[in-house]
Structure 1
Amino acid sequence: MCVGLPARVVKIKEGMALIDASGAKREVSAELIDELEPGDYVMVHAGIAISKITNDDQSETDKIMEEL
């Protein structure tokens, strides 16, 4: 099973995005997503932002992860 983490994009530079995942910040590849802006939410897997998600998706994912 693969697990992706929701994260908020803080900054984008040269195909990389600085993300904030529940307070943990790291750089991930943003090459797969067009039109990514700071403040957007993404699903991250294996160091790659794989899709944009909504704030509601992020909140729901956080809730499920807390229950686990």
Structure 2
Amino acid sequence: MCVGLPAKVMTMKDGMAVVDASGAKREVSAELIENLEPGDYVMVHAGIAIAKITEEDEDEAEDLLEGLL
């Protein structure tokens, strides 16, 4: 099973994004998503932003993850 983590895009540069995932900032590849900008939300798996999501999706995913821990 694969688990993606929701994250907010903080900065973009040269196909890479710095994202904030529950307070942890990481650099991930953003090559798969067009028109990604700071403030957008993404689902991250294995160091790659794999899908753009809404803020509501991010909130729901965070709630589900908190329930698992």
TM-score range, shorter chain: over 0.9
The aligned length equals 68
Q: Distance in 1 between matches of 2:64 and 2:22?
A: 14
Residue deviations 1:11-62, cap 9 Å, x none? 0000000000010001000000000000000000000000000000000000
The corresponding residue for 1:65 is 65
Identity of aligned residues (%): 71
Runs of 4+ in 1 over 6 A off after TM superposition: none
Counterpart amino acid of residue 40 in structure 1: D
The corresponding residue for 1:29 is 29
Q: What residue ranges of structure 2 are gaps of 5+ in the alignment?
A: none
Q: Distance in 2 between matches of 1:41 and 1:58?
A: 7
The corresponding residue for 2:47 is 47
Q: Distance in 2 between matches of 1:61 and 1:20?
A: 14
Q: What residue ranges of structure 1 are gaps of 5+ in the alignment?
A: none
Displacement of 1:65: 0.5
